[in-house]
């Protein structure tokens, strides 16, 4: 079971996935080179930038995986709260949550199910449940999971009403995740607009090149023109980074 533990801040691509993403990235940069420079050699050199895109792609896939785990963790908290409400122990509630999620999720290999399997297996091997939760929180690097793990550990040491504390904490964390989901839904349209705006300059340059033969030749055949196109590309990149930063709303 230990071999199944995942570090969620790291993403390892399979060979086929790596090759596919690399080809797509290199193809995109080659296309950008042909649109903005209309020069085969420059475009081929630019296509090599696809290699530098892979680390960012891995970070993005890792972020999406963490977001998925966060949503699944919300469902797990619901079933844990339901079990605790019936008077069951926390350890039993974890087993009930795993079984309930296996019935709810069509994918039996869902990340949260695998994590609950790992936690329950460790508890059965006499590992303290707070240690198993702390390991999950350390690997997933999500504030919601860390808060839940910390509250559980502190409550158990302090001898507090564990059931009530866990139920209240679960409700608060679930509400926070739901608010984040609502915000994501509200800005989804704006994110689509952002992507369209980022692609618009490429489309405009391509359309002008195709419809007005020779109109943009000074930009492609002179050193000054290529400097102008390079500056334009850099400004577009900066604009893309700023728009992503604006859309990244933390709760």
Interval 55-69: pLDDT, tens: 999 999 999 999 899
CA angle 43, 44, 45 (to 5 degrees): 90
The answer to whether 51 touches 23, Cβ cutoff 8 Å, is no
Structural domain count of the chain: 1
Q: In percent, how much of the chain has pLDDT > 90?
A: 41
pLDDT score, position 40: 92
Reported pTM:
0.79
d(CA 114, CA 108): 8
Neighbours of 240 (CB within 10 A): 14
Which long-range contacts link 89-92 to residues 24+ away (Cβ below 8 Å)? 90/129, 90/152, 90/162, 90/163, 90/166, 91/120, 91/123, 91/129
The answer to whether 14 touches 6, Cβ cutoff 8 Å, is no
The range of the structural domain enclosing residue 130 comes to 2-247
- Per-residue pLDDT reduced to its tens digit, 179-226: 888 888 888 788 888 888 888 888 888 888 888 767 778 888 888 888
The answer to whether 165 touches 155, Cβ cutoff 8 Å, is yes
In the chain the first and final C-alpha atoms are separated, in Å, by 34
């Amino acid at each position: 079971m230990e071999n199944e533990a995942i570090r969620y801040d790291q993403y390892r691509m399979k060979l086929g996935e790596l090759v596919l993403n690399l080809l797509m990235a290199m193809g995109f940069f080659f296309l950008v080179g042909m649109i903005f420079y209309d020069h085969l050699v420059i475009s081929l050199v630019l296509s090599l930038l696809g290699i530098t895109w892979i680390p960012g792609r891995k970070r993005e896939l890792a972020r999406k995986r963490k977001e998925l785990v966060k949503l699944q963790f919300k469902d797990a908290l619901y079933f844990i709260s339901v079990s605790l409400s019936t008077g069951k122990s926390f350890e039993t509630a974890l087993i009930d949550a795993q079984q309930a999620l296996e019935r709810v999720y069509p994918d039996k290999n869902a990340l949260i199910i695998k994590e609950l399997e790992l936690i329950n297996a460790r508890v059965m091997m006499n590992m303290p449940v707070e240690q198993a939760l702390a390991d999950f929180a350390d690997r997933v690097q999500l504030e919601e999971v860390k808060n839940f793990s910390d509250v559980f550990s502190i409550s158990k040491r302090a001898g507090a009403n564990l059931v009530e504390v866990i139920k209240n904490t679960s409700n608060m964390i679930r509400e926070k995740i739901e608010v984040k989901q609502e915000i994501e839904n509200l800005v989804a349209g704006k994110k689509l607009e952002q992507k369209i705006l980022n692609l618009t300059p490429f489309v405009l340059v391509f359309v002008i090149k195709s419809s007005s033969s020779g109109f943009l030749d000074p930009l492609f055949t002179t050193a000054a023109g290529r400097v102008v196109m390079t500056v334009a590309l850099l400004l577009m990149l900066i604009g893309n980074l700023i728009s992503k930063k604006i859309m990244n709303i933390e709760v």
